[in-house]
Amino acid sequence: MVEQQTSWIGLRVGDFLVEDQIGEGAFSQVYSGANLSDGKKRAFKVAKSRDALEISHIVEPAPSQAIGLITGGLSGVHPDTVALLSSQVEKIRATNDAALVRIDTLVAEQGFGYYQMELLEGHTLGELIQTHSVSNSTLVEIARVMARLAKNSSFQYHGDLKPENIMIGESGVKILDPGYFGPLECDEGLFDNAAITTPAYYPQMEPDDILAFGLIAWEAELGIHPLLSIQVDDSLAIEDIAPGLFDWVRSYEQVGYYFLSPIYSLPRPTELKPELSAEMEDFLYKAVRVKRQPDGKIEKIPGFNSFDEIAEALIQASPRFD
């Protein structure tokens, strides 16, 4: 066993020498290393120690957080990071899909844990969004991967689908770091309902990957997140909001979930991107479960029922499908 330390750079783990830190999340750090005999590269995901966690009881829209769902609101909590890592490995291995990272070994002990996995090459969808280089064909490929995963009983849901957790490389789409919804043992006690997720993509605090994808599609197409980049218009009166939308958002506000509220002030996609086709504008509205009425009000609609439906709608909305 290796001892837990602040940085793993320079550490020898089995036949590998850890060379660089390549990522960091709320509960783990990710390193790359090379095999000392043949130079083969691998990645190591390491659970953060309890002392390394930076957790506030105030829940923000981003990034990924451990959240206890309590009466009247939400609270940031301190989970067992090794248990989270082990649960993630169990889900990935049980799903056994090429779109998920291949895991070689897991070490999980009291207060210490890591797993060794394939080192992925490519760019995250978040990086591609920043450079405005996301094609509709890429979104379709992601939707098709999610459609396959959603049908796998061992997968059920991702729970933290966001641009930073989607890798695009020569081998295709890879979906990273599943989240979690359900009972969770934390320093603060056992929560019957908790989540490891990013509220900006799961504003209802439910494992709704389809809505998460809709928010991602809006962000990829228009360059802004529809719930993070919009200020709620405080001048809006109830009569300015379509009843169905008001009831939908209000039902979550009443239990302390305010992440959906910016949707009241959602701009027209063509205002942000004038060259956007009417078909793509309709797709984006439906992807986030709204529709603009003739009077200009935004109304709540059911949205898409499956990732298969999303993929087909994206193709239809792209006359020159790339």
pLDDT tens, per residue, the chain with 322 residues = 444 447 899 999 999 999 999 999 999 999 999 999 999 999 999 999 988 888 888 999 999 999 999 988 999 999 999 999 999 999 999 999 999 999 999 999 988 999 999 999 999 999 999 999 899 999 999 999 999 999 999 999 999 999 999 999 988 999 999 999 999 999 999 999 999 999 999 999 999 999 999 999 999 999 999 999 766 666 677 788 899 999 999 999 999 999 999 999 898 999 999 999 999 999 999 999 999 999 989 999 999 999 999 999 999 998 665 4
**Positive or negative: CA dihedral 37, 170, 154, 218:** positive
**In CATH, what number does 12-316 get?**
1.10.510.10
- Per-residue model confidence (pLDDT) at position 238: 79
The CA distances from residue 280 to 74, 186, 305, 321, in Å, are 35, 43, 18, 12
CA 291 to centroid of chain Cα atoms? 24
Compute φ and ψ for 229, nearest 5 degrees. -100, 5
C-alpha dihedral, 210 to 215 to 219 to 221, nearest 10°: 50
- Per-residue model confidence (pLDDT) at position 137: 94
- Per-residue model confidence (pLDDT) at position 11: 95
Secondary structure (H, E, C), the chain: CCCCCCCCCCCEECCEEEEEEEEECCCEEEEEEEECCCCCEEEEEEECCHHHCCCCCCCCCCCCEEEEEECCEEEECCECHHHHHHHHHHHHHHHCCCCECCEEEEEEECCEEEEEECCCCCEEHHHHHHCCCCCHHHHHHHHHHHHHHHCCCCCCCCCCCCHHHEEEECCEEEECCCCEEEEEEECCEEEEEEEEECCCCCCCCCCCHHHHHHHHHHHHHHCCCCCCCCCCCCCCCHHHCCHHHHHHHHHHHCCCCCCCHHHHHCCCHHHHCCCCCHHHHHHHHHHCCEEECCCCCEEECCCCCCHHHHHHHHHHCCCCCC
- From 47, 52, 12, select the one nearest 30 (Cα to Cα): 47
Please report, for the chain, the start and end positions of each structural domain, with discontinuous segments joined by +.
12-316
Compute φ and ψ for 63, nearest 5 degrees. -90, -150
- Per-residue model confidence (pLDDT) at position 153: 97
**Cα angle at 30 between 115 and 195, to 5 degrees?**
80
- Per-residue model confidence (pLDDT) at position 2: 45
- Per-residue model confidence (pLDDT) at position 281: 96
In sequence order, the 6+-apart residues with CB closer than 8 A to the CB of 50 are: 78, 81, 111, 187
Beta carbons of 26 and 53 less than 8 angstroms apart: yes
**Positive or negative: CA dihedral 314, 319, 321, 322:** negative
Q: What's the CA gap between 218 and 286, in Å, rounded?
A: 10
The order of strands in the sheet holding 172-175 is 123-124, 166-169, 172-175
